[in-house]
Amino acid sequence: MQDEWLDIVDETDRVVEQQWRAEAYQRGLPNFRVINAFVINTQGQLWIPRRTAHKRIFPNGLDFSVAGHVEHGEGYDFFWPHRGSAHAEVSRRSRSVFHERNPSPASLGEDLSKDPSL
């Protein structure tokens, strides 16, 4: 697998540096951009795939329908038409934000189960 060149961001999502994905993980950096989403079909069914056995993190575990790192220079919207792992057409109208999180120290590790907006 080819390493990804990622934007490292501050608590306001402003790019402050770039880092190879492997190095960002090695340094324990929590502040790079990712997309995680669930896909619900027209019958209201939620698609939750299983991760493959060779994944380094949570092998064979349940996963997001669509997930990935936002690479350097890309925006969040770029991810959908070009790298959506669900192989499904996802229109701009059909997407909604369930939860958005930034890498501020106050939000890392917070208990999301107590968030009334969820």
Average pLDDT, stretch 1-16?
88
Query: Which pTM does this prediction carry?
Result: 0.65
Digit-coded pLDDT (tens) for 44-89: 899 999 999 998 889 999 998 888 888 998 887 765 555 555 555 6
Instruction: Return the closest-CA partner of residue 95 out of 109, 105, 110, 80.
Output: 80
What domains does the chain contain, in order, with CATH numbers? 5-87 (3.90.79.10)
Q: Binning pLDDT at 50, 70 and 90, where does residue 104 land?
A: low
Q: 29 pLDDT exceeds 60?
A: yes
Q: 91 pLDDT exceeds 80?
A: no
Residue 74 has a pLDDT of 86
- Calculate the alpha carbon distances from 109 to 15, 61, 96, 104, 105 in Å: 22, 21, 23, 10, 8
